[in-house]
Amino acid sequence: MLAILVVNEREVQNRIIHSRRDYSAVELQQASNYLNAQFAGKDIQQVRSNLLQELRHARETMDRMMQAAIEMADQAFRTGTGEEDYVLAGQDQSDGLR
């Protein structure tokens, strides 16, 4: 990927970023739009600091959500309560389309 950093009116830096993953044009455009909207006019250290803070917050939020999901699943599918007379069933969507 090519990142173009406009440092000031006279300085532009081109940086090649190597990634283990391929990104679609849509993903790259979305990332570009986000970065430009959130960080235009800020210095690179401020951008770095803000991005790291946002990523930490997102990780903490996801950790809390996953912990809640695990706790709910544990309670929903707990066995040994003596009340195991329930049925969990479903239907494949393709069954009705034949």
- Please check whether residues 37 and 49 belong to one and the same domain: no
Structure tokens at 97: 């389309």
pLDDT given at position 89: 74
- For residues 33 and 7, the model is more confident at 33
This model's pTM is above 0.95: no
Residue 64 in any domain: the answer is: yes
pLDDT given at position 52: 94
- Please check whether residues 50 and 71 belong to one and the same domain: yes
pLDDT given at position 90: 75
| pLDDT, tens digit, 9 for 90 and up, residues 31-86 | 999 988 988 888 888 888 999 999 999 999 999 999 999 999 988 887 765 555 66
- Please check whether residues 1 and 18 belong to one and the same domain: yes
Domain coverage including residue 5: 1-41
SS (H, E, C) 21-45: CCCCHHHHHHHHHHHHHHHCCCCHH
CA angle 85, 89, 92 (to 5 degrees): 175
**Torsional sign, CA 39, 43, 46, 48:** positive
